Amino acid sequence: MTAESAPGFIGRMRAKINRGDSWLTYDLGNLLPGQQIDAAALDDFEDLLLTADLGVAAASKITDTLRREVNAGRIKRADQLRALLRRTLIDMLKPCEAPLEFPEFIKPFVLMGVGVNGVGKTTTLGKIAAKLGAEGRQVYVAAGDTYRAGAVRQLAQWAERGGVQIIEQGQNADAASVVFDAFSAARARGADVLLADTAGRLHTQAGLMDELRKIKRVLQKQEAYAPHEVLLVVDATAGHNALHQAVQFHEAVGLTGLAITKLDGTARGGTVFAIAERLALPIRYIGVGEQLEDLGVFEAEAFVDALLGTAPS
């Protein structure tokens, strides 16, 4: 099946991230002259992984697995190495494959989106809102990004597209107050889901990180277990910075899931594996473009096959 004929999001993903300059579609034959697998070739492959933003831990884990099987004599040909690489990558990501669920007994289910500036956080939340609205769920969105000009308008456009209700107080309003009012309205009207947008902030900005903690405290005054999902949106093109962001946000507010955007904008994409190896957080969504259809649920096997350019098993 070609990428163009594959159904739905998986087809779009394969078409957008299976690129000739990708670190995983790189021809391993260049590292394995004459199909001979040796220590030098594996060392070169580890260097390739390191330049692809996997980080030392993930790159070493992958290469150690390959080296162990080669040294044991179980892997002798390049095609066997590629097959083992595929299985190893899938095994790394499989524990992170956990689609977000919105239980009917929790109303409203509160999702708070966090992240640094420019990662596509508002767009991602808007797409989630539109998708949930299209499924027939009653959804409210809280326009808690009150600093950036145009953020409320951007979120409102997605809300309108999905037929969902937006709660906002205008630019420079107190974000915690916006979210508090949105929760009160959503609960009073029996809404299924509340999505709370927040302003983008660097993970090193202590004051703005405190604001996120304040939003959580305000929510928990009304619902002890809210927010039920703290979703960090990270940009796949950010490389090692994406991992640093994930670590810092997790320590600050207790992340429960990730959305990884802009995978169509990088020829490497190793950030996904670096974060999976370090934090093992559920990857809820991945994004491969600007359109609504370019945001999809993360599936480890489909993702690895898209990167490798291999046919699903």
pLDDT digits (tens, 9 = 90+) for 214-233: 999 999 999 999 999 999 99
pLDDT, average across residues 179-203: 91
Measure CA of the first residue to CA of the last residue in the chain; give whole Å: 12
**Percent with pLDDT over 90 in the chain:** 42
Over 50: is that where the pLDDT of 5 sits? no
pLDDT digits (tens, 9 = 90+) for 70-106: 888 888 887 888 888 889 999 999 999 999 999 999 9
pLDDT, average across residues 232-258: 89
Whole-angstrom distance, CA of residue 264 vs CA of residue 279: 23
Mean pLDDT of the chain: 85
**Percent with pLDDT over 70 in the chain:** 88
> What's residue 6's pLDDT?
44
> What's residue 258's pLDDT?
96
Angle at 23 between CA 19 and CA 25, to 5 degrees: 50
How does DSSP classify residue 108?
S
Q: Which residues, 6+ apart, have CB-to-CB distance to 82 below 8 Å?
A: 28, 308, 310
Residue 238: Cβ-neighbour burial (10 angstroms; 0-12, 13-18, 19+): buried
- At 207 the three-state DSSP class reads helix
Q: Note whether 141 and 167 are within 8 A (CB).
A: yes
pLDDT, average across residues 270-280: 87
Nearest to 286 by CA among 257, 244, 243: 257
Q: What angle do helix axes 271-279 and 240-253 make, rounded to 10 degrees?
A: 30
Largest CA distance in the chain: 69
pLDDT, average across residues 244-263: 91
pLDDT, average across residues 189-193: 96
